[in-house]
Amino acid sequence: MAPRIGVYDSGTGGLTTLALLRAKLPKCSFLYYADTARMPFGSKSREEIFECAGEALRVLRRETDIAVFGCNTASVTVRPKNVFCLHPDLDSCDPHHTLVLATPATVAATDARGKGFLTADTSELAVLVEVRLALRFKSRTRLDCSDLEDYLQRRLAPFAGRADRVLIGCSHYVYAEREIARITGVSDCRDGNDALTERVARAVYGSECVEPIFLRENTPDASDVSFIFTGGNEGAKYRWILSRLAAEYVPKILIKRL
């Protein structure tokens, strides 16, 4: 029997991880735990993050076979054992030419500044993305964060021409990747989802999933996913966003690696 995989995040950011997992592991079922009552995590204390992640992890270990943290902040702060974690891969990058975009908690936990990486103050971005996605759901338009361009311009313009690579260290920021690339002038933006989901695929299959399935052609209704929300039930919104990620985000990642 194919395993059930649990994915954890504070909100919609981890849906980017879930969308790619579903494409690579079409025979698996999934539980998505959205800690919406306590979102955002990026400005919380270390103790608060441990408390949030600990509660979620107890649920995932009870209800699923494989636990995945689709939240950079929880991953790099808690560093849980026997959990597949999303985190910016600082070790493979030249710090002097790499811009790390992440929450304050993730920047602190990875010591990105101390290691010499370029960093920008984007502390409000995760919440701004959540608001934009809610508006996109109401109007049923594509996942577009172009109206965040003014905010991103103020935060990122000083780094234009200074970096060759951008590490996106918050899963919410993935939704604004087009704007980030345009403002910084960097085409090499990495969010870590492909590497994370390949690790999970190897654990399930024993090797890499070499023929990824395009979700939009197989399970568009997300019937293989159950949701837990610590706040109000947002299942309809999350299922819609997941369907849009299948159409917009997943093909881009899979085509890039084929």
For residue 172, list its beta bridge partners: none
Rg value, the chain, Cα? 17
For residue 194, the surrounding DSSP H or E stretch is helix 193-205
Q: Do domains 4-86+192-257 and 90-190 have the same CATH topology?
A: yes
Q: What is the pTM of this model?
A: 0.92
Considering only the top CATH level, what class is 90-190? alpha beta
Tokens of 158: 């000083």
Q: What angle do CA 71, 29, 76 make, to 5 degrees?
A: 15
Going from N- to C-terminal start, the domains of the chain cover 4-86+192-257, 90-190
Phi, psi of 220 (to 5 degrees): -65, -20
Walk along the chain (258 residues) and give the pLDDT tens digit of each residue.
789 999 999 999 999 999 999 999 999 999 999 999 999 998 889 999 999 999 999 999 999 999 999 999 999 999 999 999 999 999 999 999 999 999 999 999 999 999 999 999 999 999 999 999 999 999 999 898 999 999 999 999 999 999 999 999 999 999 999 999 999 999 999 999 999 999 999 999 875 444 444 433 444 566 799 999 999 999 999 999 999 999 999 998 887 655
- Tokens 């159409």, residue located: 247
The dotted CATH code for 4-86+192-257 is: 3.40.50.1860
- Tokens 């990620």, residue located: 245
From the list 169, 53, 77, the residue with the least C-alpha distance to 122 is 169
